Amino acid sequence: MSLPTKQYRVLVVDDEPLVARACQILLKRSGYDALVVDNGMAALEKLKSESFDVIITDFYMPGFSGDELVEEVKRQNPSQRMILSSGQYETADRLTKRERKPDLVLPKPYQFTDLITGIQKILSLPCDFSAPKAG
């Protein structure tokens, strides 16, 4: 897998610590600067002081859901690139028909290469999956 020439910043929003941490590690190994928060409200707070090239959020989270996060972030910054992951096909289908929608809905479960391909697609980067960087 070729590394991006620029270190893109990615915010991972997921209430499942193992999933979030695994995603962060794999993104870092792929050349991204990845930060993790465990809920939608924490993501909004982080966005007050930092910017990210891509936000990846889980759909189902207690309190402030990924759906609500997409809605609020896109209201404040329509050009913010966002990936929403969901295990519910009906949810994914419904979200693609909204005015403020994620740039990509990634069905769960997904392969890590699917996530990287999605990131590269919404950042308009070339996709090349030769060999992942060890580390």
Separation CA 83–CA 120 (nearest Å): 11
54 lies in which domain range?
9-122
Going from the C-alpha of 23 to that of each of 3, 11, 92, 93, 116, the distances in angstroms are 16, 10, 20, 24, 10
Residue 1 belongs to a domain: no
Provide the CATH number for the domain around residue 38.
3.40.50.2300
The DSSP secondary-structure symbol of 4 reads P
CA proximity to 80, closest of 4, 3, 10: 10
Residue 15 belongs to a domain: yes
Handedness of CA 64, 65, 70, 71 (dihedral sign): negative
Q: How many folded domains does the chain comprise? A: 1
Tens-digit pLDDT profile for residues 19-74: 999 999 999 999 999 999 999 999 999 999 999 999 999 998 888 888 899 999 99
What are φ and ψ of residue 12, in 5° steps? -100, 125
Residue 93 clears pLDDT 80, i.e. is over it: no
pLDDT at site 129: 44
Residue 18 belongs to a domain: yes
Residue 77 belongs to a domain: yes
Predicted TM-score (pTM) of this structure: 0.84
